[in-house]
Structure 1
């Protein structure tokens, strides 16, 4: 029910929805919400419902209840105390009085609420000093005896330019016109779920007495039908991608006896763990199968994924093919280069380095080495997938922290894998130190194989995590002084580079809700404070705004021990390996994501000294901030961290869906709908085998252009 009375001259919403490109106002708002087709309108589901099917006499209404009443206006006047407001005094047929109060109002309100007008109003009843009142109720003028609504009134996600009355008409028109024919053959839909059209009609127009709680918590069978349809479409798309890849040929990369793979194993200064041996064997089997590998290698921070990737690269290079390794940041890419050069260059492998900051002659030389095949291993950032990079014989691509790349970048890599003179497709190995919870692996990663390194190499010391409030800062600085005096090294991570003006934008990242950005401690300020507090010990500063050479120089001096304390932003989140660093301080820890905190904690505990991660927070903490810090304090298990992160953030944000601007799942919730997901996983192969046309129609109905996002 609108807050302003409906205008008789309101445009027809159904017509406006059809002609949105030529219209402005609400029709343009429909376009901005993506509501441009009948199906899109039919799938635009209510946030909640209002019960306008019954009236409550004022004598039976209680303060705090949201009720609908029918009253006659006695008088309406603008009052100026305590502030300008429209005060409408009215009474119902039983003589009980009610005040309707509008602090924000228009002349049309005064016109509609004249003495003698009969009004149906809905809002929260309050007990005011002058009796019962409603503040800013929804209302409309009616004739005596006007019929009540026959069904619950939906309230839709909308914008300021799109009134609910207009949107309801547009959705109703879209629902009527949408093609909602049943696509699925008998036996696919779980028993007890209604047909799709019936489910949508019930969700948009619930009858009186419908179980409101089940509708709003999405447990109603109508909701279950939509969730199953969506999950099934996702499983079908993943299954199609897997089968399509299976029809392609890829290089058969088999380790040679006495070849580069064996030589690398023999020269490594450590032995592989059982888990590393197991996942290496899984990858080797994929490389030798003659079909494109599409595998995710996951393992906790410090589990030793890089050496597994190096062994896979050795197999590809030894067979005469090139390998590309792409990382999301230059610091991480540089760490990979350092390790891979150390391991492979003595064995005769030439490594090319590509990064955004590498330009001019050095870049031209690297591009030439890649194009000629002289560089067997190519390591870099997103520069690896730029249009001027051409591989001679790309056989294997390794993507580290793949979820940190945007969808466009991941799709560009997929095209690059196919952009070679060879008719064979390249193998793809993705790596992640953010373990994937099982429900996500069953859903978003259903089209690939998953290898898990579930043990850490020997020598990794346990990390103690401590939570302290920021008022204990001086005490913490004293602890740092003791640590550096004992010869240990310390990280101090801040969320910002430097202070900004109130109307400025932070140079790196954005803090989560809470304190204004200007109140957050910044890296340059902290660097100055620690430099003054630690005379005789050098304090370094590194952040994303430094030039590549400057960052590399600071990191090299920290790794060599010249710098005792490194103040940094999250550029050191992944890849940095300094065994002597035993203390990690994360300032404003409540502002960081759980996966980020776990990655930062993993920068310590790499040597023989017992390590500590201090998460310093400021109050008040949000509920999600409390949950994140509690999880960090209770466990160092990356898989448990990932599970809790999924619970807190949901799959879309966990997976980086916001990088694409599209939610990966609109209706289903993987934390609650695992049984439906399991049913969809069982049904998808049968549909693909026996009813391929129905499977394709299902994918197009529910996913459309998002199919590529699932493959990226």
Structure 2
């Protein structure tokens, strides 16, 4: 690769013509910073122009090519009025229209008596045809330059399609001949072209099929994009395993055995299998990086606790990071007293711990007096120091960014990292987001978990729901009542938690409580305590109770405007009930305007309680970017692959790329062979340059 002139592709974008001065920032925002980024800015549409003999043959809105004679000009008196040019196709007359016209320019372009070829879109007003601002005007002598279609690119304000086309054509002219990074047999098997053939073809589409992943040219480029991504992840993982020293954590098993004896239940086979995988990882001399997936109620927390005790047995400390104060305190209530019985010192640290109490916790963490800490973002602050952190557990990990996860793991000497999520992740997202992590799945729920009945009901029947709530309370039930908003909004005709609280308070008086994200932590805790242990039997809430809240007595979940929630959110909310010895009922209330997607969501919830099936359905309905509820947790920003339009093709290509990346890392881990050097170029091409440092470590 050293002898191939690839440098022009990685030159700054402004080295292309027409990208300078004030327009530079506009082009950079649209295309990227490098010349190669312009190549990866693919067309989004194609306009076909149909040659016709007479203007009467054209439909309104159709793009046409027609030969005309110029008859006359009617200049506009004011610039805001249209400038009209009358012409004829030999049988019928029609007008060419310009706004904000420059008279001398148009008179030179359309001299009276001249014969011209006009290319543009026809508009009809009543029976009169017009062409406003033609796309092209040619002399008949230049008919050889006639365009029959125009490629359209995604644009931004201030940048025209012609300017983008000119820049991309220049970028295409800089592509050198270089060896393919894919084996010839691999390319032939899928009927793909070379990368150079593919990139030239996608910028010259002939039909709308050429604009989608149904085209072999786009498929080849999408596979290359996936391969660069997967190879980058695998190189990072390989580097971690090969070069980063970690803590070998074996322990004697005494604390784990004491915990298992104290538990009122036995672990499921699925839990035992995941515990075995974790213990094997922790015993290795490099850091563990493992993700536990488990549906709501599958018992992830107890598995994480066992792992933390294993780290403590080995003479180290453990930390659990939770996304919300409510969830952190719920974990603390369960864990602190339980581990105290077996001689483990645990504490909680959130933003609520202040003054002397906080100082004491920080001192005990630094000295090693605290074995296990549970907390929110407070435990990743700079002032927090551990004596010897051996294991970092991250609960509901999709709520945290990569930077926050790194902050926690940087508190120790390359500690083991165990991430958990109750939102089942489709295999496609696993490969895309967690290719550098080992994944364990707890697919089995503990024995005794009762089924939850799900009903879909129109919001018009609210009075019936309230009457049903009265009957349920008489039988000793506790009820979650979820609303999409905190306060009423003029822009949105949706239920607000505060309004519903006032409404139900008139009926149920002090038996109704309210919790939402804008309340102070102490206020939320007080209401939650009354709901769990006191006289509050109906909890009006927003999605602040989506994750981790455990109230065994709660058997009913009512969700207003359920069609406005994502499937993953609905599944999480439904998982808050049915945790005791009584079956649960989830009531999904929908509003008047129910979209097709909203209807499909509610049908899916009614048909299945399997979180993995729900996750796959959510991926199809909402696309990769939002399937886990937050942008950072969705699909990485792929330029060519389109999971929304072609989820099946993308899933297949991503799986192929994952398999190929693993093979490459096994056979050529430092990318030293000629093929490896070509792969290094691929990484650079798609901006995965950071992966290169792992090949030189």
Fold match by TM threshold 0.5 = yes
1:3 corresponds to:
none
1:482 to 466, 471, 476: 471
Task: Name the SS for the 1:142 alignment partner.
Answer: strand
Query: How far apart are residue 137 of structure 1 and its match?
Result: 6.5
- Taking only aligned residues, the RMSD between alpha carbons, in angstroms, comes to 3.1
Deviation string, structure 1 residues 153-204 (Cα, Å, up to 9, x no partner): 2211111211111111122222323567445154375223222222111111
Residue 679, structure 1, aligned to residue 656, structure 2: yes
Contact 1:542–1:568 (CA under 8 A) maintained in structure 2: yes
Contact 1:53 1:150 (8 Å CA) reproduced: no
Q: Which residue number corresponds to residue 197 of structure 1? A: 196
Partner of residue 264, structure 2: 269
Task: Determine if the alignment matches structure 1 residue 525 to structure 2 residue 499.
Answer: yes
User: Distance in 1 between the 2:165 and 2:504 partners?
Assistant: 59
Q: Aligned pair in 2 of structure 1 residues 707, 401: CA closer, same or farther (>3 Å)? A: farther
Aligned match for 1:155, one of 143, 152, 157:
152
Report how far residue 66 of structure 1 moved.
Answer: 4.3
Per-residue displacement from partner, 1:379-414 (whole Å, max 9, x unpaired)? Answer: 11122222222221111111111112124323433x
5 Å-filtered alignment, 1:125-136, equals 125=122, 128-132=125-129
Match of 1:566 among 532, 539, 544: 539
Q: Select 1:447's aligned residue among 433, 436, 449.
A: 436
Equivalences for residues 18-57 of structure 1 within 5 A: 23-24=21-22, 26-52=23-49, 57=54
1:95 counterpart = 2:91: yes
Cα distance in structure 2, aligned partners of 1:226 and 1:489: 54
In the comparison of the two structures, how many residue pairs are matched?
661
Q: Corresponding residue for 2:400?
A: 405
SS in 2 for 1:671: helix
1:505 counterpart residue number = none
Match of 2:417 in 1: 428
Q: Kindly state the Cα deviation for residue 127 of structure 1 after the two structures are TM-superposed.
A: 5.7
Partner in structure 2 of residue 122 of structure 1:
120
Q: Is the 1:439–1:671 contact (alpha carbons within 8 Å) kept by the matching residues of 2?
A: no
C-alpha displacement of 1:128: 4.4
Alpha-carbon spacing, 1:663–1:429, altered in 2? closer, same or farther (3 Å): closer
The aligned counterpart of 1:512 is none
In structure 2, relative to structure 1, the CA distance for the partners of 1:676 and 1:659 (3 Å cut) is closer
> What is the deviation of 1:576?
0.7
The 5 A counterparts of 1:623-634 are 623-634=596-607
Call closer, same or farther: CA 1:215–1:372 in 2, change over 3 Å: same
Larger mean CA deviation between 637-646 and 84-93 belongs to: 84-93
Which residue in the other structure is 2:335 paired with?
A: 340
Q: Identify if the C-alpha distance between structure 1 residues 638 and 305 changes in structure 2 by more than 3 Å, giving closer, same or farther.
A: same
CA distance in 2, matches of 1:280, 1:435: 19
Please give the alpha-carbon distance, in whole angstroms, between the structure 2 residues aligned to 1:263 and 1:583.
36
Q: Return the alpha-carbon distance in structure 2 between the equivalents of residues 53 and 250 of structure 1.
A: 67
Q: Does residue 464 in structure 1 map to residue 440 in structure 2?
A: no
Cα drift, residue 564 of structure 1: 0.9
Question: What is the CA distance between 1:359 and its match in structure 2?
Answer: 2.9
Structure 1 residues 661 and 431: CA distance shift in structure 2, 3 A: closer
Per-residue CA deviation, residues 77-106 of structure 1 (Å, 9 max, x unaligned), is 6999xxx9748575552423446678xx43
Q: How does 1:12-411 map to 2 (within 5 A)?
A: 17=16, 23-24=21-22, 26-52=23-49, 57-63=54-60, 65-71=62-68, 86=82, 88=84, 90-98=86-94, 105-108=99-102, 112=106, 116=112, 118=116, 120-123=118-121, 125=122, 128-132=125-129, 139-147=135-143, 148-149=145-146, 152-177=149-174, 181-182=178-179, 184=181, 186-187=183-184, 189-191=186-188, 192-206=191-205, 210=206, 212-247=207-242, 248-257=244-253, 259-411=254-406
Specify the alignment match of 2:573 in structure 1. Answer: 600
Q: Deviations over 1:393-440 (max 9, x none)?
A: 111111111112124323433xxx2443x4xx2111111111111222
- In the alignment, the residues of structure 2 paired with residue 101 and residue 656 of structure 1 have an alpha-carbon distance, to the nearest angstrom, of 49
Q: Distance in 1 between matches of 2:212 and 2:680?
A: 30
Q: Is the 8 A contact 2:225 2:686 kept in 1?
A: yes
* Alpha-carbon distance, 1:376 to partner: 1.0
Q: Work out whether 1:701 is the aligned partner of 2:685.
A: yes
Q: Distance in 1 between matches of 2:464 and 2:51?
A: 63
Show the counterpart of 2:8: none
Q: Contact 1:73–1:119 (CA<8 Å) still a contact in 2? A: no
> 1:634 deviation in Å?
1.8
Q: Indicate the larger mover: 668-677 or 341-350.
A: 668-677
Q: CA deviation at 1:133?
A: 5.0
Shift of the 590–158 alpha-carbon distance from structure 1 to 2, 3 Å rule, reads same
Task: Compute the TM-score of the two structures, normalised by the length of structure 2.
Answer: 0.87
Match of 1:534 in 2: 508
Task: State the Cα deviation string for residues 510-539 of structure 1 (Å, max 9, x = none).
Answer: xxxxxx33x32211111100101224x511
| Superimposed CA distance per residue, residues 247-296 of structure 1 (whole angstroms, 9 cap, x where no aligned partner) | 22322222425x10000000012221221122111212211223321111
Query: Relative to structure 2, which stretch is displaced further, 613-622 or 598-607?
Result: 613-622
Structure 2, gaps ≥5 residues long: 1-11
The answer to whether the 8 A contact 1:652-1:665 is kept is no
Describe the SS at the equivalent of 2:344: coil
Q: Cα deviation per residue 1:457-506 (whole Å; 9 max; x = unaligned)?
A: 12222112222222222222222222122221111111221235x5xxxx
> How far apart in 2 are the matches of 1:475 and 1:707?
59
Contact 2:237–2:437 (8 Å) recurs in 1 = yes
Q: Secondary structure at the match of 2:434?
A: coil
Q: Distance in 2 between matches of 1:476 and 1:109?
A: 70
Contact residue 568 and residue 628 of structure 2 kept, 8 A: no
CA gap 1:547/1:252 in 2 versus in 1, 3 angstroms: same
**Superposed counterparts of 1:582-597, under 5 Å:** 582-597=555-570
Residues 262/213 of structure 1: CA separation in 2 closer, same or farther (3 Å cut): same
Q: Is the 1:467–1:615 contact (alpha carbons within 8 Å) kept by the matching residues of 2?
A: yes
